[in-house]
Structure 1
């Protein structure tokens, strides 16, 4: 069961990243909220280096793949992100802000690592930033007034990719803090899925009733 849940999480999050790259390039925007993207990239880069230094493992390889995918998503943010900001945000200001955000992402991960140690830091920071991402996706939908740069595939894959480790690390390994964070993630993820389903449900309601 542990292996199955680990594989579900790994595959689902890989789908999130691949779809985020595709949708970002298609819509000429970025498909992951930048604060969550910064924390994700910092987490995956940090633990990829640690895993490779200790020895090659399946999770270490996955972390490297995710980190490389994050670089592609970061490209979409740097390429298209400034166009969504007010005119007073010049290129130098946008670059400075981006450096601050991504630098903060690494600082936060390293503070977790220094305080909790690798085992707990990797779990606590992952679930906390996952909850932040869940809320920020809803905020992204609201700020863009619709699903620009988003997709139902991302939403569902994120939900499943978080639900699996919630069951594994929170429920099966009896970690109430992680279990609580995972449940909150699911609540927000399901709200986000509902938002993305609204146009489809509205279209279904507008279809004429079948004749008898």
Structure 2
């Protein structure tokens, strides 16, 4: 059961990342909220290294696949993200801000690791950043006034990819804290799925697209 749920999570999140790359390239934007992207990338790099330090494992392989996919999503953010910001955000300012966000992602993961140890930190940080991502996807939909740079495949795969470890760590391993976080993730994920389904059902004219400023060079 443990291996099955780990593989379900791994496959589902891999679908999220591949679809995020595809949608980002298609819509010339980034398909994952940047704060969550930074935390995810840091988590994957840190815990992939930790897994392989003690030998090859299913989770270690999954972490490496996710980290490689995240590099491509980060590229879409760096390539297209500045166009969604106000004009005063120059290229150097965007670069400095991006460096700060991704450095903060690593700092947060190291703080979790230092305080909780590998076993608890890997789980607590993963579910907390997952909950953050769930909320930020809804905020992204609101900010873009529709499903630009998003897809139902991402939403459903994210929900399933979170539900599997919720059952594994929250139910099988009997962790009420993780179970509670996982349930909250599901609530937000299902709300986001509902938004995207509503967007599909609504006529195109009912979903205004935010005009994006073109930053000065």
TM-score (norm 2): 0.92
CA distance in 1, matches of 2:40, 2:57: 20
What does 1:1-212 align with in structure 2 at a 5 Å threshold?
Answer: 1-202=1-202
CA distance in 1, matches of 2:164, 2:53: 27
User: Cα distance, 1:202 vs. partner?
Assistant: 3.8
Query: Does structure 1 retain, via aligned residues, the 8 Å contact 2:152–2:196?
Result: yes
CA distance in 2, matches of 1:169, 1:141: 30
Who wins on radius of gyration, i.e. which is larger? 1
CA distance in 1, matches of 2:202, 2:68: 38
CA distance in 2, matches of 1:55, 1:113: 20
CA distance in 2, matches of 1:196, 1:202: 10
User: Cα distance, 1:199 vs. partner?
Assistant: 2.9
CA distance in 1, matches of 2:111, 2:20: 28
Partner of 1:150: helix, strand, or coil?
coil
Partner of 1:174: helix, strand, or coil?
coil
User: Cα distance, 1:43 vs. partner?
Assistant: 0.1
CA distance in 1, matches of 2:61, 2:121: 19
Aligned residue pairs: how many? 203
User: Cα distance, 1:54 vs. partner?
Assistant: 1.7
CA distance in 1, matches of 2:87, 2:112: 36
Query: Does structure 1 retain, via aligned residues, the 8 Å contact 2:146–2:199?
Result: no
TM-score (norm 1): 0.94
User: Cα distance, 1:50 vs. partner?
Assistant: 1.1
The unaligned stretches of length 5 or more in structure 2 are: 204-217
Query: Does structure 1 retain, via aligned residues, the 8 Å contact 2:5–2:164?
Result: yes
Query: Does structure 1 retain, via aligned residues, the 8 Å contact 2:147–2:199?
Result: no
CA distance in 2, matches of 1:6, 1:62: 9
CA distance in 1, matches of 2:7, 2:20: 20
Q: Could you report, residue by residue, the CA deviation over 1:64-84 in whole angstroms, capped at 9, with x for unpaired residues?
A: 110000000000000000000
Compute the RMSD of aligned alpha carbons.
Answer: 0.8
